[in-house]
Structure 1
Amino acid sequence: MRILFASSEIHPLMKTGGLADVSASLPVALKRLRHDIRLLMPAYPQALARAGKLESMATVTLPGFPDDPVTLLSGMLPGTRVPLLLADAPRCFQRAGDPYRAMDGQDWQDNHLRFGLFARLIEHLSLERTPLGWRPEVVHCHDWQTGLAPVMLGMHETRPVTAFTIHNLAYQGLFPRHAFDALNLPPELWHYQGLEFHGQMSFIKGGIAYADHVTTVSPTYAREIRTQQLGNGLDGLLNHRAESLTGILNGVDYKEWDPGRDRHIAANYGPEDFSGKALCKTDLQDHFKLRGTSGVPLLGHVGRMVPQKGVDLLLRAAEPLLAAGEAQLVVVGTGSSALEQAARRLAERHPGRVGVHIGYDEGLAHRVEAGADIFVMPSRFEPCGLNQMYSLRYGTVPVVRRTGGLADTVVDADPAGLKAGDATGICFDAALPEALTDALTRALALYHQPDLWRRLVRTAMAQDFSWARSAEAYATLYRDLVAARVPPGKP
């Protein structure tokens, strides 16, 4: 099948979170299944710098954007054979900062125009209104930044089928009414069954309401977002579309995340020769100037420092263990200034036991996965999560809250799980520091039983969450959508 895969970020060109990893790995897996897939992303400065050789294919002026002609740059996603298209609209995308925010951390005030233009380009590529000579059968859009594309394509009788993936429903692309007017959309879309959402315009609602099929990134999260608790006001619409909503678990790119060949870590290792992990732990302790205390487990956390990720729970739950000298902690991430400050203060209170890196560092993320003994993900909600799956492969036992993809990928080391031999980590339920402290205490107790811990680690490392199975599920979905749209006997 011919598939246009549109995303606002793709690793290694641009990354702020798991969306970038998925947008890099899933297309590669689909390409292995012999599909004709092409990636589309805005041409941010970082993307242009990292993309390698690019060729200018065409320049188009899109309806509603007369002052922002878009030059399509063609190349290959680095390290792959997947064709890449970058949308070069300098006034919209040639900016310092990340894709959505300025250097001061504030959202760009014209994000509705920037990603409205991106959606209009998706529409025109999908209808072969550019000189590329290629027309997709399937358009797969991701998160709110592409949410208007299924809306625009839905206005055409002859069009490709559309799939829209929710990576995190909490980020909805909400804008005031004047943003709707500025995009010159049909007035009838300003309606509670259209793009209007409590007096605002919602990009993500457009994707959910107008795409032929909606997916999200784990089966449990697909159920959770249909509840009032995690539906973010869209649970009614999601329940209405329940028959067209599927949870497909994200996968892991084991070419990038494998301790046996990871180029970022101090020593490679595997389930049969685990000795390199001790060297990775020493390397991580040295990097953060932690005391090399033997027999003390090292806890790790990598992620956005926002309430969703439960970083506040981690900082509070770890305090008594740190004070007692029962654990060390390394935290890598950036986000809320309050949480960043709280992490720094924790490190000041426990010198030699806590290491903090504010910012994202891909290489350091790999070193944490390899060097920590226990990886902590106490998320209040987690659509899928990737770090817990990385941790399993690295023999770094995950401690997770039982939600979303965390519930789908980690088997609790309770008595039943240990007896059955399928336990891979520690799970807890309540989003409370006390519940996390109890879970960490359980993990530490297992850590101090070397034979039991080694069995737990071996089971964890044997898990397979590669993209092959998920890519097959998406390919099946695409085929079903195309079959349902094209009448029998028609091309």
Structure 2
Amino acid sequence: MTIRALHVASELYPLLKTGGLADVTGALPPALIELGADVRVLLPGFPSVLAGLADLKSVAPLARSFGARQAALEQGTLANGVVVYVVRADAFYERPGNPYLDAQHVPYGDNAQRFALLGWSAAQLAQHIDPAWAPQIVHAHDWHAGLAPAYLKAAERDQHRRLARSVFTVHNLAYQGIFPAQQFGMLGLPPDFYGMHGVEFYGQMSFLKAGLYFADRLTTVSPTYAREIQTLAQGGGLDGLLRQRTHDLSGILNGVDYAVWKPSTDTLLPARYTDTRLAGKRVCKTSLQARFGLPQKSDVLLFGVVSRLTEQKGLDLLLATLPEIVRHGGQLVVFGTGDPALETGLQRVAQTHPESVAVELGFDETLAHAIIAGSDVVAVPSRFEPCGLTQLYALAYGSLPLVHRVGGLADTVVDASLENLADETATGFAFDRFDPESLASAIRRAFALYARRSEWKAAQQRAMREDFGWGASAERYLALYRELT
């Protein structure tokens, strides 16, 4: 029996990307289709989404618009053949720039309505609003889609029948979609859905909590993160609910789309390479040094950072530990954008040590690939990290990841301790305590290993042979769907 599943999310690579969520929604549906599932995606009609879909056609008008004047469901196709439904409500989605924030970086005042419409539309698809197709599984991603399981449960209660089973995936528990309680009325959910056993969250309402409470099954993006979010320290006020639902919660590691991230075929690089032919990696390194105006020395240990410049990503800790890299004669390239204080702090160090540190603010996919390939070490010192994809890209490119041992980072990088080097399992550098001493110690380990060239190369080759493709993860999601249906 072919399982029909609808993925509901706010973004999808290559149409729209602000973070790792887009990489997952871009790669997981095709991986599931390859395993024989019938998978479609539902997205809001943002300008870049509409522009990137072929043969867009109307499916049905939507009876509710949540104040958008008019709303309709349309359908198009991605270049890879995946069918995408689009919620067409131009008053809500046709806005330039960031999909969630206005020009002043403030969340749009109507975000509750914009994403309630997305969740409600998902429940409509489960009720055959498209006569040609309806899902058996509605798989909602993050708070933007958090109301989909709630609208589904409400419709089932109303109609006294099972419509579809639901899965809710938390990509980052820190973003909870919290709105004032006064806005509950306009959602059109049953009154008893507002309460501790429902969408209410400390006197407000949380779309994320709605997903966690009403979905049949819960997943998050790594086994370690699934355990961490059930603790007071990392549960974001939802740890009690998550502990109650511990038997419904599984951690399934995100995968890498090796069609996009593979150094032997990556057309965005100045030279390509493999684990047995690493000469191209040296070309990538000198090219990266030239691009950032650093001395082009092949024997210098080059650290790379491609990240949102935020405290979550541990960039404040890296800033505090930068002297360690400079003192040992290393180089650091930082590319990203985020917290103005961190941007300024990093730029200041770059001005003081122009021969060692280079910083560029912004985001560009081509440059991201160049940094991952050209660096010897890619630093991902996150305070917490649900899964993390950067370290997986780094492994594939033979750029040893330097990570804080949390979440998906703990699940994917094996520290170059003496015993792991002896056992030939080491693939990077991991530190346990989130403090400057621990990070500095890991940085020193990186310099020490780099001095032993044959061991360094062996670790590089091991890293490049790791397989974190979507195949295994897609198998686990499919097994979960089968259990539910």
Letter in 2 for 1:25: A
Matches within 5 A, 1:171-182: 171-182=175-186
Report what 1:460 is aligned to: 463
Relative to the length of structure 1, the TM-score reads: 0.95
Aligned match of 1:85: 85
**2:62 equivalent to 1:58:** no
Aligned partners of 2:190 and 2:315: how far apart in 1?
43
Relative distance call for 1:131 and 1:465 in structure 2 (3 A) is: closer
Please list every run of 5 or more consecutive structure 1 residues that lacks an aligned counterpart in the other structure.
Answer: 483-491
Matched residues in 1 for 2:58 and 2:174: separation?
Answer: 36
SS in 2 for 1:411: coil
The letter of the residue matching 1:122 is A
Aligned residue number for residue 108 of structure 2: 108
**Which residue number corresponds to residue 269 of structure 2?**
265
- Would you say how many aligned residue pairs link Structure 1 and Structure 2? 478
Query: What does residue 147 of structure 1 align with?
Result: 146
1:376 corresponds to which residue? Answer: 379
- Go from structure 1 to structure 2 and tell me whether the alpha carbon gap of 1:250 and 1:131 turns closer, same or farther (over 3 Å shift): closer
5+ residue gaps, structure 2, are none
Q: 1:219 maps to what in 2? A: 223
Distance of 1:160 and 1:377 partners within structure 2: 39
Measure the CA separation in 2 of the matches of 1:106 and 1:141.
Answer: 25
Counterparts in 2 of 1:272-351, with a 5 A limit? 272-322=276-326, 324=327, 326-351=329-354
Is it true that 1:386 corresponds to 2:389 in the alignment?
Answer: yes
Q: Quick one: distance in 2 between partners of 1:320 and 1:394? A: 25
Matched residues in 2 for 1:393 and 1:404: separation? 19
294-303 vs 249-258, greater mean Cα deviation: 294-303
Measured after TM superposition, the shift of residue 325 of structure 1 is: 5.5
- Distance across 1 between alignment mates of 2:367 and 2:60: 39
Conserved in 2, the CA contact under 8 Å of 1:62 and 1:121?
no
- Partner residue in 1 for 2:122: 122
In the alignment, structure 1 residue 444 sits paired with structure 2 residue 443: no
Q: What's the secondary structure of 1:309's corresponding residue?
A: coil
Which of 223, 239, 248 is equivalent to 1:235?
A: 239
In the other structure, the counterpart of 2:436 is 433
Structure 1 position 58, deviation (Å) = 2.7
What RMSD, in angstroms, separates the aligned Cα atoms of the two structures?
Answer: 1.3
Secondary structure in structure 2 of the residue aligned to 1:304: strand
CA displacement 1:188-245 (0-9 Å, x = unmatched)? 1221111111111000000001000000000000000000010001000000000100
CA offsets 1:415-471 (integer angstroms, 9 cap, x no match): 111111111011101111221111111111101110110111111111000100000
Query: Which residues of 2 match residues 182-197 of structure 1 at below 5 A?
Result: 182-197=186-201
CA, structure 1 residues 190+275, in 2 after alignment: closer, same or farther (shift >3 Å)?
same
Structure 2 distance, partners of 1:343, 1:46, is 32
Q: Which moved more, 1:364-373 or 1:336-345?
A: 336-345
For residue 328 of structure 1, report the CA deviation from its aligned partner.
0.8
1:53-104, Cα deviation, whole Å (9 max, x unpaired):
23222342333636432233322223x1211122221011000121211122
Q: State the partner residue of 1:27.
A: 29
Distance 1:422 1:133, change over 3 A: same
Residues in 2 aligned to 1:76 and 1:297: alpha-carbon distance in whole angstroms: 45
* Deviation readout 1:235-276 (Å, 9 max, x if unpaired): 000000001000000110101000001011110000110000
Residue 400 (str. 1) matches residue 412 (str. 2): no
Q: Provide, for residues 9-66 of structure 1, a one-character-per-residue CA deviation record: whole Å limited to 9, x for no partner.
A: 1001000110000001011100101211111111111222333x23222342333636
CA distance in 1, matches of 2:50, 2:247: 40
Tell me how far apart the structure 2 counterparts of residues 131 and 161 of structure 1 sit (CA, whole Å). Answer: 18
* Aligned-residue identity in percent: 46
Offset, 1:305: 1.3
TM-superposition CA deviations, 1:96-119 (whole Å, max 9, x none):
121211122111111101001111
The structural deviation recorded for 1:349 is: 1.5
Distance 1:67 1:312, change over 3 A: closer
1:162 paired residue number: 166
Distance (Å, rounded) in 2 between the aligned partners of 1:393 and 1:384: 16
TM-score normalized by structure 2? 0.96
Whole-Å separation in 2 of the counterparts to 1:55 and 1:424: 45
Would you say the 8 A contact 2:7–2:138 is kept in 1?
yes
